[in-house]
Amino acid sequence: MDEEFPKAQQKQPSLHHVTRRAFLGTTLVSGATLFLEGSNVIFGADSSASLNMATNTTWKLGGDLPVNRLGFGAMRITGEGIWGWPPDRQNALKVLRRAVELGVNLTDTADAYGPETSELLIAEALHPYPKGFVIATKGGLTRPGRGQWVPNGRPEHLKQAVEGSLKRLRLDRIDLYQLHAVDPKVRLEESLGALKEMQDAGKIRQVGLSNVSIEEIVRARKVLPIVSVQNRYNVGDRKTESTLVYCEKERLGFMPWSPVGGNRGLASERGLEEAAKDHGATVYQLALAWLLHRSPVMLPIPGTSSVAHLEENMAAAALKLTPADWKTIDALAGRA
């Protein structure tokens, strides 16, 4: 799941330290780049980590599927309330194509977005897909009506869901298929058993989970390999911090949904305003940069229905933070 920035962001300035023209020129050639000044180590929760964040702008899902770490969430390209077609279909297609131009090669979606609309728009805009382009879709949540999200983890439903996504996305195999939510009425092992069958049949390359606990991840990994987890997480809401730490330890990709707080904004927004000004950035760009610096397994998927917002989101990857900057932002968010 991904959520759009609040409307207030529209009037905030872009980065001053990296001009939009310079940034866009760079990303069109090489994809989004993350800079880290004055340090060669990750300085998130585990300061003993020794990967070089200045060069680790990519992550390999399952160890063999490389993606740029700042992706795109395709939930908000649908209609209001994540229901039906967008009011401006051509604009939605422009957003998807612009994301690829800016270096995005990981797009997250789900059959529940629309429902089905998001997947159909992705195929309309981008098929045949660029080489190395990874679509991460999800199944297991149904939409019986506007505003309704109902889990359905029955094996027969999930098999049908995979087949439906393959058809809508015009794929022979889905690179990353995620269980959207655990159905309390169905044993997790039964749900994942169905996905394992589809994986064994060559219709899914890798499997991920969404909205899960550590205990559920452990159970899932006894059924089949898990390469990623998608839970709500941002600088102002770290209730799933322990899950992120587990993913770091086990080398699982962590895709934070609502990376900048969604329509409600960040709980820590006021406390971060001054820090954002110091960096010539918006609060939301600072929040995305904080996530990218937090962990090498972090794969933010901010979503939007606006090309301008998309470009601002991607510019966050070029925001420079020193270790001291990161710790200051971390402390400000914690006090807010």
pLDDT digit string (tens) for 10-50? 333 333 344 444 444 444 333 433 333 333 333 334 433 43
pLDDT bracket for residue 127 (50, 70, 90): very high
In a domain, 241, yes or no: yes
Q: Is residue 1 part of a domain?
A: no
Average pLDDT, the chain: 85
Q: What is the pLDDT of residue 263?
A: 56
pLDDT at 278: 85
Residues constituting the chain: 336
Asked about 129 being catalytic, the answer comes back as: no
In a domain, 185, yes or no: yes
Q: Facing residues of 66 across strands? A: 60
**Per-residue confidence at 8, pLDDT binned at 50, 70, 90?**
very low
- 224, part of any domain: yes
Label residue 308 left, alpha or beta by phi (over 0 means left) and psi (-120 to 50 means alpha): alpha
Residue 2 lies in a domain: no
Give the CA-trace dihedral at 32, 37, 40, 44, to 10 degrees. Answer: -80
- Residue 127 has what DSSP assignment? P
pLDDT score at 253: 98
CATH of the domain at 24: 3.20.20.100
113, 129, 177, 233: which is the annotated catalytic residue? 113
d(CA 1, CA 259): 10
- The total number of structural domains that make up the chain: 1
pLDDT in tens, 129-169: 999 999 999 999 999 999 999 999 999 999 999 999 999 99
Instruction: Indicate the DSSP class of residue 150.
Output: E
- Please state the pTM of the whole predicted model: 0.84
CB 228 within 8 A of CB 252: yes
Domain range for 55 is 7-335
Contacts of 56 by beta carbon, 8 Å cutoff, 6+ apart: 34, 69, 296
Determine the 3-state secondary structure of 68 from DSSP.
strand
pLDDT reported for residue 9: 35
The mean pLDDT value for 215-235 works out to 97
- Minimum mean pLDDT range among 45-59, 97-111, 166-180: 45-59
Q: How far apart are CA 137 and CA 198, in angstroms?
A: 14
- Residue 127 and residue 93: Cα distance in Å, rounded? 11
Burial 118-146 (b: 16+ CB within 10 A, else e): bbbbbbebbeebeeebbbbbbbbbbbeee
Buried b (16+ CB within 10 A) or exposed e, 84-105: eebeeeeebbbbbebbbebbbb
Q: Are 174 and 199 in contact (CB under 8 A)?
A: no
Residue 115, in any domain of the structure? yes
